Structure 1
Amino acid sequence: MASISNYAMPQEQPGYSFAGSAAASHSEGVKQHAFYPYTDNGGSTLAISGDDFAILAGDTRMTSGYNIHTRYQPKLFKIGDEEDSRIVLSVVGYAADGNALKERLDVIVKMYKYQHGKTISIKACAQRLSTILYGKRFFPYYVHAILGGLDEDGKGALYSYDPVGSYEREQCRAAGAASSLIMPFLDNQVNYKNQYDPTSGEGHNLQPRGFEALSQDHVVALVKDAFTSATERHIEVGDGLQMMIIKKDGIHETFTPLKRD
C-alpha cells in the first residue's frame, strides 16, 4: 500500500496532534498524517506610549480551548540586565514560542552590552527583534510581539510586530484574543480616530481633533478600563492584570486582580 505524507497544518487541530484518522481518505485506502505544532494560549496585551513613559500590560490567564492551564502566566518580560533595563517585550499567542523569543532577545541584548559597553537603544533592539522573527519566517514564532521602551529623546516608544518580523512604531496597540474589543477603544481614547473639533466650523470645514499628550495616571486608568471590559466579553482573558511602566528611572511593575470566571 502506498504511503503519502501531508505536512499541511490543519487549523481544526489545536495543540500537538497526529491527525491521521481525521484526514484519512477511506475511499482510496490512503492514510494521511499531519502534525500541527502550534496552539493559541489566549490572553491579550496592550501598550500605550506617552511623552516620557511607555506602559505595557497583559492579563495572566493561559488557556487552550475551554481549559485554563494557569491563572498566573506573565506575558510581559524585562529585556536586558535587571538593574538598568528600560525595555519590555510583550508576547501573546503560543506561550512556548513567546518564552523562546523572550529568551533569545534577552541573551542578544545582554551580549550587546558586554561587547559594546553600553545598553542597546530601543530603536536598535526593535530592528534586531525584526531580524530574529524574519529569520524564522519558514517556521515562525506563533506570537504577536510588542516592544516598548524610551527613545533617544526620552519619549515613549512602542513597536508592534507580525509573526514574520514586519513592524512599525505606534502610539498604541492591542494584541491577542481580545484585541478586536480593545483596539477600537484605544482608537477612540488615544488616537482620536474620526473625532473633530466642534469649534473649528461646520460640515466639511470641521478639523480633526488635535493630538493631546496623555498623563501617566490617565493612561493607567485607560488600561484598567480596557481589560475590565474585555474580561466581561472574552473567556480567554482574565485572572490578573500585569502592568509595566517604563520611565527614565526604571521599570515599575504592578499587578491588579481581574475576573476569574
Structure 2
Amino acid sequence: MSIFEYNGSALVAMVGKNCFAIASDRRLGVQLQTIATDFQRIYRIHDKVFIGLAGLATDTQTLYQRLVFRHKLYQLREERDMKPETFASLVSAILYEKRFGPYLCQPVIAGLGDDDKPFICTMDSIGAKELAKDFVVAGTASESLYGACEAMFKPNMVCYSYDYNLEAEELFETISQALISSVDRDCLSGWGGHVYVVTPTEVTEKILKGRMD
C-alpha cells in the first residue's frame, strides 16, 4: 500500500457559472480500520479560496498550518486577500521547497478570481500543477471520481440557493452524486461527505449522509 493511501481520502472540485463547489469524504482510517467519521479535509483560506488536502492526514494538517501562516503574512503586507492563482503558486512553491522530503499530500485548490471567474487546480506532492476548466479530483477514490464526474458534469451549472427553480442547486446535486457514488466503490474512503458551494455573495456548507459500512 502506498503511504498516500494510508488514511484514505476522496476530494473533488467542480466549476459552475460564476461559482464552484468542492467536496470531500469524512473518513479517517488507518488502512482498513476506521478511526473517525468526521475528519475535515477542506479548509477555507478566505471566503473565495478553499483548499482540500488528500493524502497522509498528519502532513495535510501541517501543510495547512503553514499555508494559513503564509496567507496571513500576505494579508498584512498587501492589505488584501490572495487571488486563487497566486495561492496555487504559493502552495506549489512550498511543496517544491520540500521536494527531497515531501509533504505526502495532494492539494485541490478552488477559488473565484477576477470577475468571479472560477479557478480550480490540483498538484502532486512536489507541486507540479494541473489546471482544469471543468473538475479536478484527488485521493484514493480518484479513479471512480473521474468516471462519475465525466458522466455527470456539464458546463455552466448554476448554484444559487435563493433561486427556487429546478436547476437552483444543480452544481451541488452533481458534485454530491459524483462523490457519494464514487466513495461507495472505494473501501478506504466514505462515511458521508462534506460539500462547500461558493458563489460571489455566499458560502454554503452541507454535510452528506452516505453508507456507513
Give TM-score scaled by structure 2 length.
Answer: 0.89
- In the alignment, which residue of structure 2 is the partner of 1:176? 139
Native 8 Å contact 1:86 1:250 kept in 2: no
Task: For 1:134 and 1:149, locate their aligned partners in 2 and report how far apart those are by CA, in whole Å.
Answer: 22
Could you tell me which amino acid in structure 1 is paired with residue 174 of structure 2? L
Question: Is 1:260–2:208 an aligned residue pair?
Answer: no
Match of 1:214 in 2: 157
Check whether the contact 1:230–1:237 (CA below 8 A) recurs between aligned residues.
no
Percent of pairs identical after alignment? Answer: 22
Counterparts of 2:94 and 2:206, CA distance in 1: 29
The equivalent of 1:190 in structure 2 is 153
| One-letter identity of the residue aligned with 1:120 | M
Distance 1:117 1:226 in 2: 38
Deviations 1:91-122 (A, max 9, x none): 11100111111111111111111111111111
Pair 1:87 & 2:34 matched: no
**Secondary structure, counterpart of 1:238 in structure 2:** coil
Matched, 1:73 2:39: yes
Secondary structure class of the residue paired with 2:184: helix
Q: Is 1:144–2:106 an aligned residue pair?
A: yes
Aligned equivalent of 1:224, options 147, 167, 176: 176
> Is the Cα–Cα contact under 8 Å of residues 44 and 179 in structure 1 kept in the other structure?
yes
Separation (CA, whole Å) in 1 of partners of 2:62 and 2:5:
15
Give the match's secondary structure for 2:189. Answer: coil
Matched AA of 2:156:
A
| Aligned counterparts of 2:68 and 2:201: Cα–Cα separation in 1 | 20
- Tell me if the contact between 2:180 and 2:193 (Cα under 8 Å) persists in the aligned partners: no
Deviation (angstroms), 1:54? 1.1
Per-residue CA distance 1:205-246 (angstroms, 9 max, x = gap): xxxxxxx32222222112221222123322222222111112
Change over 3 Å in CA distance of 1:39–1:160 after alignment to 2: closer
Q: 2:77 aligns with which of 111, 115, 119?
A: 115
Structure 2 distance, partners of 1:158, 1:103, is 21
Structure with greater helix percent: 2
Larger mean CA deviation between 100-109 and 225-234 belongs to: 225-234
* Aligned partner (choices 50, 59, 82) of residue 16 of structure 2: 50
Q: Tell me how many residue pairs correspond in the alignment.
A: 203
* One-letter code aligned to 1:214: M
User: Is 1:233 equivalent to 2:199 in the alignment?
Assistant: no
Alpha-carbon distance in 1 for matches of 2:123, 2:181: 25
Alpha carbons of 1:172 and 1:101: their partners in 2 closer, same or farther (altered >3 Å)? Answer: same
Amino acid at match of 1:41: N
Letter in 1 for 2:200: K
In 2, Cα distance between equivalents of 1:55 and 1:79: 15
| Distance in 2 of aligned mates of 1:136 and 1:250 | 35
Looking at structure 2, the residues matched to 142 and 58 of structure 1 have their Cα atoms a distance apart, in angstroms, of 17
Q: Which has the higher contact order (CA 8 A, sep 6+)?
A: 2
Any unmatched runs of 5+ in structure 2?
160-168
Partner-residue secondary structure (3-state), 1:78: strand
Q: Corresponding residue for 1:7?
A: none
Q: CA RMSD in A?
A: 1.7
C-alpha distance 215-39 of structure 1, shift in aligned 2 (>3 A): closer
